[in-house]
């Protein structure tokens, strides 16, 4: 399929912030994603107490699910409003602190410390700041990244993964000439070459 019509499209950070400000958050799934339930065993692979990463997390309710199962959740999101809504909607007390390594970034963490959400661009993160993860839930993340940034995004994700980590990726399949995205159409062949 020709994805040429989307390859030069760029959604600025400001546009994402705007979506959150105006409540134009069609991508948010209040009841969580059925595919996480379906493939939870693949993500966990019999392990408990994992560190799980949510790139471009929004206020994904799946973060609460996994934390309630005893895992430690880390997310990153540019919109502070999204993160504050997450804590408020789940009645989770949290504290806020600066991130010394990233100017302007904030870290919001539940009092119990099992959910830590970074308010900054994912491209500001590195394994020296957030560590490495045993599992990744990538829904609305790779498909939301600007097509020109895909390789950079995937290379970063690879550096954030522990040796035996599992990565669940949700993509969308449609004719990219009919919609401008996001979510963008990322063909399977491209996913294979991106992740290697």
Numbered residues of the known binding site for S-adenosyl-L-methionine: 16-27, 56, 77, 121-122, 139
Which C-beta is closer to ligand SAH: that of 50 or that of 56?
56
Residue 141 near ligand SAH by CB under 6 A: yes
Which C-beta is closer to ligand SAH: that of 73 or that of 76?
76
Residue 76 near ligand SAH by CB under 6 A: yes
Closest CA to 50 of 157, 167, 156: 167
CB of 143 to ligand SAH, least distance (A): 8
Q: With contacts defined by CB under 6 A, name the span among 55-63, 101-109, 158-166, 171-179 that binds ligand SAH.
A: 55-63
CB under 8 A, 24+ apart: contacts of 81-90 = 81/17, 81/20, 81/21, 82/20, 82/25, 82/57, 82/58, 83/57, 83/59, 83/108, 83/117, 83/119, 84/108, 85/59, 86/57, 86/58, 86/59, 86/60, 86/117, 89/59, 90/61, 90/64
Residue 56 near ligand SAH by CB under 6 A: yes
Residue 147 near ligand SAH by CB under 6 A: no
């Amino acid at each position: 399929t020709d994805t040429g019509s989307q390859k030069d499209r760029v959604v600025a950070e400001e546009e994402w912030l705007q979506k959150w400000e105006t409540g134009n958050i069609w991508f948010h799934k209040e009841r969580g994603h059925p595919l996480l339930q379906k493939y939870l065993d693949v993500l966990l692979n019999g392990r408990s107490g994992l560190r799980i990463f949510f790139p471009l997390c929004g206020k994904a309710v799946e973060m609460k699910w996994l934390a309630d199962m005893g895992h430690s959740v880390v997310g990153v999101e540019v919109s502070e409003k999204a993160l504050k809504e997450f804590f408020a909607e789940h009645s989770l007390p949290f504290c806020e602190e600066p991130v010394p390594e990233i100017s302007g970034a904030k870290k919001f963490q539940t009092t119990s410390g099992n959910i830590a959400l970074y308010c900054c661009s994912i491209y500001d993160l590195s394994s020296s700041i957030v560590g490495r993860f045993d599992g990744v839930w990538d829904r609305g993340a790779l498909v939301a990244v600007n097509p020109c940034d895909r390789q950079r995004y995937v290379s970063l994700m690879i550096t954030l993964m522990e040796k035996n980590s599992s990565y669940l990726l949700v993509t969308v399949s449609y004719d990219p000439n009919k919609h401008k995205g996001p979510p963008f159409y990322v063909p399977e062949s491209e996913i294979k070459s991106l992740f290697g």
